Amino acid sequence: MFGPDADGGVPLRVLKRRQAVERWKVKNRDRYLEQKRVLSARPEYRAHRREMYRQHVDELTNLGILPRPKGRPRLYEGAEALEMRRERARRASARYRLQKLSQWTEKDEQSTSTDSGERSP
Using pLDDT thresholds of 50, 70 and 90, give the confidence band for residue 117.
Answer: low
Q: What is the H or E stretch that residue 121 is in?
A: none
Question: Among 72, 71, 53, 49, which residue's Cα sits nearest to residue 61?
Answer: 53
Give the number of C-alpha atoms closer than 13 A to the C-alpha of residue 45, restricted to the C-beta side.
7
pLDDT in tens, 35-58: 999 999 999 999 999 999 999 999
10 Å CB burial of residue 32 (0-12, 13-18, 19+) is middle
CA–CA separation, 23 and 17 (whole Å): 10
pLDDT in tens, 60-91: 999 999 888 888 888 888 899 899 999 999 99
pTM of the model: 0.42
pLDDT in tens, 91-108: 999 999 999 989 888 887
Percent of the chain with pLDDT over 90: 60
- The residues spanned by each domain of the chain are 7-69, 76-106
